[in-house]
Amino acid sequence: MAAEDSRINFITGDLGFSVVEPYMRRFPTQFLNAGVAEQNMTGLAAGMALSGKIVFTYSIANFPTLRCFEQIRNDCCYHRANVKVVSVGGGLAYGALGSSHQATEDIAVMRSLPGMTVVAPGDPVEAEYATRAVAAHEGPCYLRLGKAGEPRVHAGPIDFRLGKAIKVYDGNDLTIISTGGMLYPCLEAVKRLSQSGISARLLSMHTVKPLDEEAVRAAAQETSAVLTVEEHSMIGGLGSAVAEVLAQNARRVSFRIMGLPDQFCRTVGSHEYLRQSCRLSATDIKNAALDLFQKSK
């Protein structure tokens, strides 16, 4: 994109080295290292955006969001600036570094901002489409990535549109709605449910704001239960966004939110270990979906 459009700029908060050097060497005038100063990084990005640039800011997990939330609110959102805030390692991906490096409230705070588009792609295919989509979108965006190495779910090209969920698997018994890196474990759960005779629909809700309300209402009308799954606090994230739609929906449907509890994760271990500790494994998702479906009957 930078080669095609000189407005594209990338600012890092002193992060990504061993990864960003090829870009840095190729586009030295479209790259800036702001140092470990995320508030300054965001202010710089807002000023550049108001001068006609399209600016991506980038850092670990909660640093480009929570640490500089005021600058994002007042400088970027208030002015509808073309700043694309990118966090790497959403959720518990930086597990061994503890809560300071875990983005577990970021979706909630970012979706609360007026004019902010919130995107959490589910696999590397969605991540590429999402990057192009937020660059083309007029206004501030939040792009929440994994830590690299997430399994590929989509085999080929996808119809990626901001605000439009992707139906990964169709079913008529219940619906599982996933966002971000939980897509692959959810797909594994859906396959295991199929082996148990349960037909589950799987939606990749890559855009949490604006939410695909039509897909949520269809799930409530066409299946008997809805389960949301996210590697984020159960407060204010995907589950809350879906609940807001269901609460205003005419038809009652069994509903459950799977996510992180309202507490800091004080366990230390690998990403996969922390997911299992927080009961977000494919087995946990399958069991929760099965329990929800049985209760809905």
**Structure confidence at residue 250 as a pLDDT band (50, 70, 90):** low
Q: What pLDDT, on a 0 to 100 scale, did the predictor assign at position 231?
A: 97
Residue 161 is assigned to a structural domain of this protein = no
Please count the helices (runs of H) and the strands (runs of E) in the chain: 10, 12
Q: What pLDDT, on a 0 to 100 scale, did the predictor assign at position 12?
A: 97
pLDDT tens, 84-134?
Answer: 999 999 999 998 899 999 999 999 999 999 999 999 999 999 999 999 999
pLDDT tens, 133-179?
Answer: 999 999 999 999 999 788 999 998 999 999 999 999 999 999 999 99
**Burial annotation 34-62 (CB, 10 A radius, 16+ → b, else e):** beeebbebbbbbbebbbeebbbbbbbbbb
Q: In angstroms, rounded to a whole number, what is the distance separating the alpha carbons of residues 41 and 49?
A: 12
pLDDT tens, 234-249?
Answer: 999 999 999 999 999 8
Residue 267 has pLDDT above 90, yes or no: no
Residues 186 and 104 in one domain: no
What number of CA atoms fall less than 13 Å from residue 160's CA on the CB side? 23
CATH number of the structural domain spanning residue 28: 3.40.50.970
Average model confidence (pLDDT) for the chain? 96
- Secondary element (H or E) of residue 9: strand 8-12
Residue 67 is assigned to a structural domain of this protein = yes
What value does the CA radius of gyration of the chain take, rounded to a whole number of Å?
Answer: 19
Q: What pLDDT, on a 0 to 100 scale, did the predictor assign at position 129?
A: 98
CA torsion sign for 244, 247, 248, 252 is positive
Residues 193 and 139 in one domain: no
Residue 9 has pLDDT above 90, yes or no: yes
Which range marks the domain in which residue 19 is found? 8-144
